[in-house]
A and B are shown apart, each in its own frame.
Chain A
Amino acid sequence: MDIELICLLSMLAVFLLANLLLKLPVSISMILGAIVGALVGGQGIPVRHLFEGTFTYVDTILIISTAMLFMTVIQESGALEALNALIVTKFHKVPALMLVLLMLVIMFPGMITGSSTAAVLSAGALVAPVLLLIGIPKEKAGAIIAIGAIMGMAAPPINIPAMLIGGGVDMPYIGFDGPLFLLTIPCAVFAVLFLGLRYCRNLDIEKLKEGLDLEVGKKYGFRLYIPIIVLFVLLVVSKAFPKFPQLGTCLIFLISAVVGLFTGKRFNFWKKSLDAMETTIPVLAKLMGVGMFIQVLTLVGARGWIVVSCLGLGMVFVYIATFTIMPGFGAISSYGAASVIGVPFLLVIIQNTVCNDIIVAAVLAFTCCLGDLMPPTALAGNYAAQIVGLKYNKVLKCCIIPFVVCIAVAVLVIFNTNALAFLTA
């Protein structure tokens, strides 16, 4: 047995033991797994590597932290309540259209930033109360947000896993829009209607109004929505006009949050921010644990063992792994899946089959994005669950059927790339 496999098994065993039996947090369990893996691999306790691994997620952690501040502001200022009231009163007569529009709202920040986390924490937080208000159960509302955020992350114009895979084979990020729309829009529409439509076929607007705060909107008027508008305008402008100063997603969230302090109800920003950050620290710690884990996987050679073992099982297995191991690797990192597995898989597929390489890359990127549903990291699932006030495994259970449909669509596309080649024009 390869020593690399022994390291991998040790890491997984220690992680599971610590998490499931000792009930330690996922983050601590991953750190323990990483340390044991390094010891078994003869690397001692590699403090430098453990620390360096965490840096993979510094940008993500900052985005999550600033997005949490933005969420707090729009919740406490009354903007969220006012927006809920507006959407429900305008669209309650056409629930299917309302759900699809809400899904597009959830997807939008992900489409612009390429991050499911940004989508969940911005638009997801806005839409969640509406979904709950119209009677969709918490776990299904969470699932809609999680799937919507992932579809947004995968949809054009920005799909970072596609860029990472393309970058690994010198493929410019050109021609991806068509294939990515084909993969994401049908899946998103299916997911929201499958999960939500049955609960809002006969909405009683008078009953709904009892649960809505109609006064806050009247009192503050349009200015309540200014922070949300600032957020979306800055996100779009910074992406659509490269010459515009690049503020970065973190600063955009912060600017929007500061604006929101002056546009609605007054509240104790310091206290509410501390509360918000305290609730998000376990997820941030989980990301750091994952960073250490993957760094040690690489250090001891277990990463190479995983990839080469997949390649060694032949083309059929490469396809099977594309739709199982690749999204599964998202449990560690969906971007990591794109870089570590996506690139060699793309090379193997395009070298061994007659196919359209752009569409194959788009499918691989799409399946990588689905990894943001995979526990323990499950970035999209985790935050969607937090937003609806549930543990994330309940939300993830509701994601299973939409997930399977997404995989089925991806399978259909990857085996018909030549027929779909016109989409890359």
Chain B
Amino acid sequence: MRKIPKNYITASILCVFVIAAVIYLGIVFRSAKEAEPIYPGPGVTSVRMLSDWYPELKGTSGDTEVYILDSGVKGASMLVLGGTHPNEPSGFISAVMLIEYCRPTAGTLYVIPRANNSAFTCTDPQEAAPMKFYIDTDNGTRWFRFGSRATNPIDQWPDSEVYVHASSGQKLSGSETRNLNRAYPGNEGGTFTEKVAYGITSLIIAEKIAITVDLHEASPEYTTVNAIVAHEDALDLAALTLWDVEEDFQITLEKSPINLHGLTHRELGDFTDTMALLMETANASQGRLHGRIDSDLVVTGKDKFYARAAKYGAVTVPYDDSGISISERCARHIACITQFAEQYQFVGDGSAISLGDMPSYKQILKNGIGHYLSSPK
């Protein structure tokens, strides 16, 4: 075996270079810990932390804000999870929009915008994603964090080669070990990510959450996209919603597979009394086919390679040069969430939840999602 020849001058120069790079990169990567401001709107009645339901999370990156919008009128409760995967920004932005705009008129809305708070503090190697993206509001531009699909390895590492789901024994690639949406219903004595999932499950049980909606995005070539995935207990609610929103946009309803474990739509439905639903919109910055990736791609959803792939029949959603903007993706989420709430009274225990005067799909498309966000302060 060949040995490397020693050269002290070269080594010294490289050491100096490495020290400088480490200092610079340390500053860059630590900056990812800074969270964007969220401005609670008039509907927010209190802000608690997830550790209030599972104290072991207190002081960790897994602890995250839970915004409570209590209408003051007795009714059902609904939980919206944004940021399960912080590289799927329409879920996060929709959750922020609810916090800043929504004023429920019946029941209580709980919103966790950064469900996997830790995953907002890093990006995925080899995805070359931006650390921030920008949305124009009526009075200025706001920045938002673009994160990783998985918990920051600073908080949970190393991954095992194979991830074994705690309650089912299902085996998945080790890369799913830090995926919050493979960790449900969570594990009190488990990994960091399993504990975050356990905290969310604990909240759902303690607050008797009637509806849980987990907001996601998928790449345009993925099979489950522009879709609602519903646990069998939530199928009626999803079907009623579908009936209503299909006037504005195409969306499919899929039943949660019984042999795919760890996901919200399966485990929260099985382990709690909530009606568990998950939504997917088409995000061009997420797939394997996109070209150059930056904030513009995240927000406009315009990508020439996806447009080409659509012509080849390689994507599963309508896609052309106009792209699928974050406003359109958020509009889908918001329209369905509004309808889930409105339709619950027909399939639930008779109690109601209403999100009040929410913009329609068409209004969000016309005005842009930024119109419904607070201006930067």
CA distance A279 to B4 in the complex (A): 7
A414 at the interface (CB under 8 A from B): no
Closest-CB distance, B235 to chain A (whole angstroms) = 18
CB nearest neighbor in B for A302: B291
Give A344 to B173 CA distance when docked, in angstroms: 18
Q: Is A4 touching B309 in the complex (CB atoms < 8 A)?
A: no
Contact A298 B175 (CB under 8 A): no
B128 touches A164 (CB 8 A): no
Is B292 in the interface zone, CB < 8 Å from A? Answer: yes
Best-buried of B160, B162, B303 by chain A (most CB within 10 Å): B162
- The interface stretch among B100-108, B109-117, B164-172, B331-339 is B164-172
Of the listed stretches A80-88, A209-217, A305-313, A401-409, chain B binds A305-313
Q: Is the CB of A301 within 8 A of B221?
A: no
Question: Are A294 and B176 in touch, CB under 8 angstroms?
Answer: no
Residue of B127, B171, B293, B305 touching A173 (CB-CB under 8 A):
B171
Whether B305 contacts A308 by the Cβ 8 Å rule is yes
Residues of B within 8 A of A115 (CB): 161
Q: Tell me the bound Cα distance from A183 to B287 in angstroms.
A: 29
- The answer for the CA separation of A311 and B287 in the assembled complex, in Å, is 14
Q: Cα distance A158–B162 when bound, in Å?
A: 8
Task: Compute how far the CA of A308 lies from the CA of B303 in the bound complex, rounded to whole angstroms.
Answer: 12
**Residue B24 at the A interface, CB < 8 A?**
yes
Contact flags (1/0) for B113-137 with A, using CB distance below 8 Å? Answer: 0000000000101111001000000
- Chain B residues with CB under 8 Å of A204's CB are none
Residues of A within 8 A of B28 (CB): 47-48
Q: How far is the CB of B252 from chain A (nearest CB, A)?
A: 14
Q: Is the CB of B125 within 8 A of A301?
A: no
The yes or no answer to B289 lying at the interface (CB within 8 A) is yes
Let me know if B24 and A301 touch, CB within 8 A. Answer: no
Bound together, the chains give a CA A103 to CA B287 distance in angstroms of 39
The reply to whether the CB of A343 lies closer than 8 angstroms to some CB of chain B is yes
B224 at interface, CB cutoff 8 A: yes
- CB pair B308–A170 under 8 Å, yes or no, is no
Q: Which among A53, A169, A278, A304 has the highest number of chain B CB atoms within 10 Å? A: A304
Report yes or no: A300 in contact with B314, Cβ–Cβ below 8 A: no
| Interface segment, one of A92-100, A135-143, A243-251, A373-381 | A243-251
Instruction: Tell me if A363 counts as interface (CB < 8 A to partner B).
Output: no
Task: Decide: A173 and B4 in contact? CB cutoff 8 A.
Answer: no
A-chain residues with CB within 8 Å of residue B288 when the two chains form the complex: 303-304, 307, 339-341, 343-344
Q: How large is the interface on A (under 10, 10 to 19, 20 to 34, 35 or more residues)?
A: 35 or more
Q: A48-B28, A173-B171, A282-B4 are in contact. Are A305 and B291 (CB under 8 A)?
A: yes
Taking CB atoms, residues of chain B closer than 8 Å to A294 are: 126
Instruction: A296 to B223: give the CA distance in the assembly, Å.
Output: 28
- Expressed in whole angstroms, the Cα–Cα distance for A55 and B126 within the complex equals 9
Q: Is B377 an interface residue (CB 8 A)?
A: no
Contact yes or no, B158 A250, CB < 8 A:
yes
Is B290 among interface residues, defined by CB-CB distance under 8 A? Answer: yes
**Does B312 reach chain A (CB closer than 8 Å)?**
yes
A52 touches B125 (CB 8 A): yes
Q: Answer yes or no: B7 CB below 8 A from chain A CBs.
A: no
B259 at the A interface (CB under 8 A)? yes
User: What sequence of 0s and 1s flags, for each residue 299-326 of chain B, a beta carbon within 8 Å of any chain A beta carbon?
Assistant: 0000101001100111010000000000
Q: Which residues of B contact A307 (CB under 8 A)?
A: 288-289, 305
Q: How many B residues face the partner with a CB closer than 8 A?
A: 51
A113 sits at the interface (CB 8 A): yes
Complex Cα gap A167–B260 (Å)? 10
Q: Which residues of B contact A348 (CB under 8 A)?
A: 314
**With contact pairs A163-B172, A282-B4 given, residues A4 and B221 touching in the complex (Cβ less than 8 Å):** no
Annotate A327-341 by CB proximity to B: 1 below 8 A, 0 otherwise: 000000000100111
Say whether, besides A49-B128, A53-B125, A170 and B164 are in contact (CB < 8 Å).
Answer: no
User: Are B260's CB and A347's CB within 8 A?
Assistant: no
In the complex, the answer to whether B173 meets A160 with C-beta atoms within 8 Å is: yes
Given the known interface contacts A51-B21, A304-B289, the answer about A170 and B128 at a Cβ–Cβ threshold of 8 Å is: no
A301/B158 in contact, CB under 8 A: no
Q: How far is the CB of B364 from chain A (nearest CB, A)?
A: 28
Q: Distance (Å) between the CB of B178 and the closest chain A CB? A: 12
The interface bits of chain A over 234-266 (1 if a CB of B lies within 8 angstroms of the residue's CB, else 0) are 000011001000101110000000000000000
Any A CB within 8 A of the CB of B174 = yes
A186 on interface, CB distance cutoff 8 Å: no
Q: Is the CB of A170 within 8 A of B260?
A: yes
C-alpha gap A352/B313 in the complex (Å): 9
- Taking CB atoms and an 8 Å cut-off, the chain A residues in 153-197 that contact chain B are 158, 160, 163-164, 166-170, 172-174
Assess the A347–B314 pair: CB atoms within 8 A: yes
Chain B interface mostly helix, strand, loop or mixed? loop
Among A173, A300, A339, which residue has its beta carbon within 8 angstroms of that of B172? A173
Give the chain A neighbours of B259 by CB distance below 8 A: 172, 174
* A167 proximity list for chain B (CB < 8 A): 172-173, 175-176
CB under 8 Å from chain B, chain A span 112-136: 113-115
A65 in the interface (beta carbon within 8 A): no
Chain B residues positioned under 8 Å from A289 (CB to CB): none
User: A367 near B: Cβ within 8 Å?
Assistant: no
- Alpha-carbon gap, A49 to B131, bound state (A): 11
A56 within 8 Å of B by Cβ? yes
Cβ–Cβ < 8 Å partners of A341 in chain B: 288
Question: Which A residue sits closest to B308, measured CB to CB?
Answer: A308
Which B residues are CB-close (under 8 A) to A163? Answer: 162, 171-175
Please provide the chain B residues from 22 to 36 with a CB less than 8 Å away from any CB of chain A in the complex: 24-25, 28-29
Q: Is A17 among interface residues, defined by CB-CB distance under 8 A?
A: no
How many angstroms between the C-alpha atoms of A166 and B201 in the bound complex?
Answer: 27
Q: Which of A174, A278, A296, A311 is packed against the most chain B CB atoms within 10 Å?
A: A311
B173 touches A300 (CB 8 A): no
| B292 & A41 in contact (Cβ 8 Å cutoff) | yes
Could you tell me the distance between the alpha carbons of A249 and B312 in the complex, rounded to whole angstroms? 43
- B263 to nearest A CB, angstroms? 9
Whether A308 touches B289, Cβ cut-off 8 Å, given contacts A167-B176, A170-B224, A291-B125, is: yes
B309 contacts across to A, CB distance below 8 A: 308, 311-312
Residue of B nearest to A118 (CB): B161
Within the assembled complex, what's the spacing in Å between the Cα atoms of A169 and B131? 26
- Shortest Cβ gap from A199 to chain B (Å): 24
Instruction: Give the most central of A163, A275, A291: most B CB within 10 Å.
Output: A163
CB distance from A280 to the nearest CB of B (A): 9
Q: A295-B125, A301-B293 are in contact. Are A160 and B25 (CB under 8 A)?
A: no
A278–B159 CA distance with the chains assembled, in angstroms = 27
Interface string of A269-291 (1 = CB under 8 A from B): 00000010011011000000001
Q: A4-B292, A308-B305, A347-B316 are in contact. List 8 more A-B contacts (CB 8 A).
A: A53-B128, A114-B161, A158-B161, A170-B257, A275-B3, A296-B128, A305-B291, A341-B288
Q: Which residues of B contact A (CB under 8 A)?
A: 1-4, 21, 24-25, 28-29, 123, 125-128, 131, 158-162, 164, 169-176, 221-224, 257, 259-260, 287-293, 303, 305, 308-309, 312-314, 316
Which 3 residue pairs are nearest across A and B when measured between Cβ atoms? A301-B291, A163-B173, A299-B128
List 15 A-B pairs, Cβ < 8 Å.
A47-B24, A49-B128, A115-B161, A163-B162, A163-B172, A169-B223, A249-B161, A278-B3, A296-B128, A298-B293, A299-B128, A311-B309, A343-B221, A343-B288, A344-B288
